[in-house]
Amino acid sequence: MFTQYVTALVISYVITIGGEPKVVDSVTYFQNAEDCQQAFQHTNVGENLYAHLRRTYGKRMSMSCEPTNIVSKPMNIPPPRPKIMEE
């Protein structure tokens, strides 16, 4: 077993407000990287949202899964074995 971290699905894109470009970050948190990747790559929701934002705001956008430093499932470490004293 290994440590799992809360993972953020980050969508960043640029919109123009008052003639000035502004970077917008949208973040959705998942319990682990696998859940984030599932939403990002294997569901129509992620694909459809990405396609819509790309059509609306152009190519200046990105979508990625970014792990945080928040542990969602700690590593299960077995207790150390006792040393055997040899005579």
Q: Which pLDDT score, from 0 to 100, does residue 19 have? A: 92
Could you tell me if residue 73 is inside a domain? no
Could you tell me if residue 19 is inside a domain? yes
Could you tell me if residue 48 is inside a domain? yes
Could you tell me if residue 74 is inside a domain? no
Could you tell me if residue 30 is inside a domain? yes
- Split into its structural domains, the chain has a count of 1
In the chain, what is the greatest distance between 2 CA atoms, to the nearest angstrom? 82
Q: Which pLDDT score, from 0 to 100, does residue 18 have? A: 93
The helix (H) or strand (E) run that includes residue 8 is: strand 4-17
Could you tell me if residue 81 is inside a domain? no
Q: Which pLDDT score, from 0 to 100, does residue 48 have? A: 84
**Range of the structural domain that residue 33 is part of:** 4-68
Q: Which pLDDT score, from 0 to 100, does residue 51 have? A: 85
- Residues of the chain with confidence (pLDDT) below 70: 1, 75-87
DSSP 14-32: EEEETTEEEEEEEEEEESS
Could you tell me if residue 85 is inside a domain? no
Could you tell me if residue 12 is inside a domain? yes
For residue 54, report the phi and psi dihedrals to the nearest 5 degrees: -65, -40
